[in-house]
């Protein structure tokens, strides 16, 4: 019987099979094989927090199959990912399969390549109990918080809510940013801007000085700005200062989990969850045609900035051969790590083989895989290249016989260096050759009114960056944390920004006031550090859980008695109930506020209210209910307006209201595209002839059609428009 290798993923198993001969059988566990039960706490708080694991129903068959295979094999290799979660999966497998110690081997690797797999098989190790303990501690801690605190939120706020150690701290960041925005007082300011020319092309200019003194942001009002424009327009513009300075900029470090998620979000609009799904595919392996299956990147859950000596050498050789000696740094570069304690992996995210150039394997990747792989490849290679050299020229422009001086700043790349491979965003103000005494031609000049802006709501990139800065969570937790906040309706995505819902604001206020530790940033970060210390063998996990749990449960029991749901979720009004004349109160439900009779449950009268707290009167329609024949009426729910039977609650028929977008379907040529909501609340656009036509897209159509394939053009990230079918893209107009 061949030796057995067990991995988590069938894709990973398929890739590894391609590297090995008949002496090995590679099988997948299909993820986790054992976990805490869903129906109960599963942690014995009276017995040193011992976890009680069980095999989920969906995994039982697979566990039985693996047991049979393991029994026949001479050696069983556990080849799960080399991080805490992967180590824990291997430990659970060992516990379940009842394999004699002498038959067990633990192997680990950071890339799925033939060389890495063969090297791992030649150098097996024992299971790392410290990593297993760290994962158990995290699982137990999060279970205690979730299963103890969430029921309190159900009782004191509304059903369906959840709380979590990392989740709630991240949500607090989003809510506090919203409070900053609401408290922001905008201020008016003015600028004077335009364009000038010596030769073509034009370049940008702006007002700089008054009476040779620099103008600060709030020095100009409307009158003074317009006076400056009036004075400058007829004046001669003479250059009186040219100051050129050379700058060098070193390349950025190769990607960590956090920086990859941030950059993919900024460049492509991908969520952290999307980025990690694509990176997982690249790591586990894809078919490259005649080359077979290959893992394209190293392990993608890491906070390390290190690169292997072999990769550095290969990258330097590649750059030298393609671009020349001056583009490399002899010996390569190293980057300082920011994390204080143990790393979860030894390397940054990099391509497994620098010779797998993105453009050369593009035909084997889908669009998302190509974009993420290209980003990783370029960033890793560029990290080993020479500095970019730019020259920044600052030019003073005197408006003759006035009190005003203008300015222009231009940047010219003198040597691309690492930017020859990895392009950063931004555009330069290109300047012609300018010298003191040159006269410029004024093309345009305007006084422009501005207002200071509140801090922007967090994008996913911004939230991940802030979580990393504060030590909230670790590389493996960023994406699932944000996904949970969205799925639980704590935040809405509005123009790719994270906006807290009303229920989120209420929950965070309650947690800050009554469970401050749970959402305290320093506490959350220190707990993460303790988990790192457990992984490093410097601490034992049970005392850390005990230190947290005892005061937490005592406070929880106290708050269960003290907190009054009505004070948290209800607001008195002057409105009277139409059915029983009792006062109406504003109540908070899971999906927002509504008016309800204070005589509940004897009277169950309710009324919808809008965002301003105003009553929304029922809006009837001519449409009849297909179930009972009563009139249908418009109502508002968490996903906006919908049709409901006026005979509710006797008849609960509802119907979605489809919002037309005024665009014809390009697939059936009969229907119109309409805006809809998925079961999970995500907006999409589909043909109104469904199910006859199943044409649907996740991004809003622009109303234009692709010049190449005639399909819909869709709004995309970074002010771009893309075709739904082919690779055509263009800037938004």
**Residue 720 to residue 733: CA distance in whole angstroms:** 9
Four-point Cα dihedral 459, 464, 467, 469, nearest 10: -110
Q: Could you tell me if 586 and 600 are in contact, meaning their C-beta atoms sit under 8 angstroms apart?
A: no
- Residues 6 or more apart whose Cβ sits within 8 Å of residue 456: 462, 497
Phi-psi region of 48 (alpha: psi -120 to 50; beta: other; left: phi over 0): left
Four-point Cα dihedral 318, 321, 322, 326, nearest 10: 100
Strand (E) or helix (H) holding 96: helix 84-97
The sign of the dihedral angle between the CA atoms of 193, 197, 198, 201 is positive
Query: How is residue 115 annotated by DSSP?
Result: H
Phi-psi region of 662 (alpha: psi -120 to 50; beta: other; left: phi over 0): left
Buried b (16+ CB within 10 A) or exposed e, 270-283: bbbbbbbebbbbbb
- The SS3 assignment for 66 reads helix
- Picking from 302, 199, 200, 318, the residue whose alpha carbon sits closest to that of residue 254 is 302
Q: Which of 77, 283, 299, 422 is catalytic?
A: 299
Q: Could you tell me if 559 and 514 are in contact, meaning their C-beta atoms sit under 8 angstroms apart?
A: yes
Note if 373 is an active site residue.
Answer: no
C-beta neighbour count of 245 within 10 angstroms: 9
**Residue 294 to residue 15: CA distance in whole angstroms:** 6
Please tell me the total number of residues recorded for the chain in this structure. Answer: 733
Q: Could you tell me if 33 and 89 are in contact, meaning their C-beta atoms sit under 8 angstroms apart?
A: yes
How many H-runs (helices) and E-runs (strands) does the chain carry? 19, 33
**Residue 608 to residue 484: CA distance in whole angstroms:** 27
- The SS3 assignment for 562 reads helix
Look up tokens 């993919």; give the residue.
264
Q: Is 285 exposed, middle or buried (0-12, 13-18, 19+ CB in 10 A)?
A: buried
Strand (E) or helix (H) holding 409: strand 404-415
Q: Could you tell me if 696 and 703 are in contact, meaning their C-beta atoms sit under 8 angstroms apart?
A: no
Straight-line distance from the first to the last Cα atom of the chain, in angstroms, rounded to the nearest whole number: 65
Bridge-partner residues for 286, per DSSP?
294
CA distances (Å), origin 646, targets 54, 432, 525, 643: 47, 71, 52, 9
Q: Could you tell me if 388 and 419 are in contact, meaning their C-beta atoms sit under 8 angstroms apart?
A: yes
Look up tokens 């605190």; give the residue.
149
The residues annotated as belonging to the active site are 299
């Amino acid at each position: 019987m061949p030796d057995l290798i067990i991995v988590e993923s069938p894709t990973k198993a398929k890739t590894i099979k391609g590297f090995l001969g008949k002496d090995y059988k590679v099988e997948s566990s299909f993820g986790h094989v054992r976990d805490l039960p869903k129906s109960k706490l599963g942690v014995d708080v009276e017995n040193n927090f011992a976890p009680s694991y069980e095999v989920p129903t969906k995994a039982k068959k697979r566990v039985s199959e693996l047991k049979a295979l393991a029994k026949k094999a001479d050696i069983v290799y556990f080849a799960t990912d080399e991080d805490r979660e992967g180590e824990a999966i291997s430990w659970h497998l060992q516990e379940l399969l009842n394999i004699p110690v002498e038959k067990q081997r633990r192997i680990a690797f950071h890339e799925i390549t033939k060389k890495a797999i063969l090297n791992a098989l030649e150098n097996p190790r024992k299971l790392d109990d410290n990593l297993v303990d760290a994962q158990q501690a995290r699982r137990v801690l999060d279970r205690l918080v979730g299963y103890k605190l969430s029921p309190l939120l159900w009782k004191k706020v509304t059903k369906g809510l959840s709380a979590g150690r990392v989740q709630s701290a991240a949500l607090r960041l989003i809510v506090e940013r919203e409070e900053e925005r609401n408290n922001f007082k905008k201020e008016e300011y003015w600028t004077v801007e335009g364009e000038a020319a010596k030769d073509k092309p034009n370049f940008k200019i702006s007002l700089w000085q008054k009476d040779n003194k620099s103008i600060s942001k709030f020095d100009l009002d409307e009158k003074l700005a317009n006076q400056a424009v009036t004075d400058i327009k007829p004046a001669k513009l003479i250059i009186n200062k040219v100051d050129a300075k050379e700058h060098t900029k070193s390349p950025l470090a190769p990607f960590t989990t956090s920086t990859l998620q941030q950059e993919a979000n900024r460049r492509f609009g991908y969520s952290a969850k999307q980025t990690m799904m694509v990176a997982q595919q690249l790591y586990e392996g894809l078919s490259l045609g005649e080359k077979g299956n290959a893992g394209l990147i190293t392990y993608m859950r890491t906070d390390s900035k290190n690169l292997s000596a072999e990769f550095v050498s290969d990258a330097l050789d590649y750059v030298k051969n393609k671009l020349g000696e001056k583009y490399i740094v002899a010996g390569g570069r190293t980057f300082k790590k920011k994390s204080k304690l143990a790393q979860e992996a030894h390397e940054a995210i990099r391509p497994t083989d620098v010779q797998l150039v993105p453009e050369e394997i593009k035909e084997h990747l889908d669009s998302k895989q190509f974009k993420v792989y290209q980003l990783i490849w370029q960033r890793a290679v560029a990290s080993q290249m020479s500095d970019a050299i730019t020259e920044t020229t600052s030019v003073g422009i005197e408006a003759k016989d006035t009190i005003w001086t203008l300015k222009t700043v231009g940047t010219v790349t003198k040597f691309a260096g690492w930017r020859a491979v990895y392009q950063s965003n931004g555009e330069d103000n290109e300047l012609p050759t300018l010298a003191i005494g040159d006269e410029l031609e004024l093309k345009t000049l305007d006084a422009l009114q501005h207002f200071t802006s509140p801090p922007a709501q967090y994008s996913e990139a911004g939230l991940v960056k802030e979580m990393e800065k504060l030590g909230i969570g670790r590389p493996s937790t960023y994406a699932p944390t944000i996904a949970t906040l969205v799925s639980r309706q704590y935040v809405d995505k509005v123009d790719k920004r994270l906006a807290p819902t009303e229920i989120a604001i209420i929950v965070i206020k309650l947690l800050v006031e009554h469970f401050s530790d749970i959402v305290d940033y320093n506490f959350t970060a220190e707990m993460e550090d303790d988990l790192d210390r457990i992984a490093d063998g410097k601490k034992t996990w049970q005392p850390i859980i005990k230190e947290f749990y005892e005061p937490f449960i005592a406070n929880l029991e106290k708050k269960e008695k003290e907190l009054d749901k009505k004070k948290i979720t209800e607001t008195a009004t002057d409105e009277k109930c139409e059915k029983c004349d009792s006062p109406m109160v504003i109540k908070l439900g899971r999906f927002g506020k509504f008016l309800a009779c204070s005589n509940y449950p004897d009277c169950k009268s309710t009324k919808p209210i809008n965002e301003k707290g105003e009553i929304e009167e029922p809006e009837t329609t001519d449409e009849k209910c297909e179930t009972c024949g009563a009139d249908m009426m418009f109502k508002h729910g968490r996903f906006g307006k919908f049709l409901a039977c006026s005979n509710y609650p006797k008849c609960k028929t509802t119907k979605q209201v489809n919002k037309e977008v005024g665009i014809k379907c390009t697939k059936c040529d009969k229907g119109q595209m309409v805006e809809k909501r998925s079961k999970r609340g995500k907006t999409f656009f589909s043909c109104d002839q469904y199910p006859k036509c199943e044409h649907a897209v996740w991004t809003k159509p622009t109303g234009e059609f692709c010049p190449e394939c005639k399909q819909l053009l869709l709004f995309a990230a970074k002010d771009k428009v893309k075709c739904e079918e082919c690779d055509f893209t263009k800037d938004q107009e």
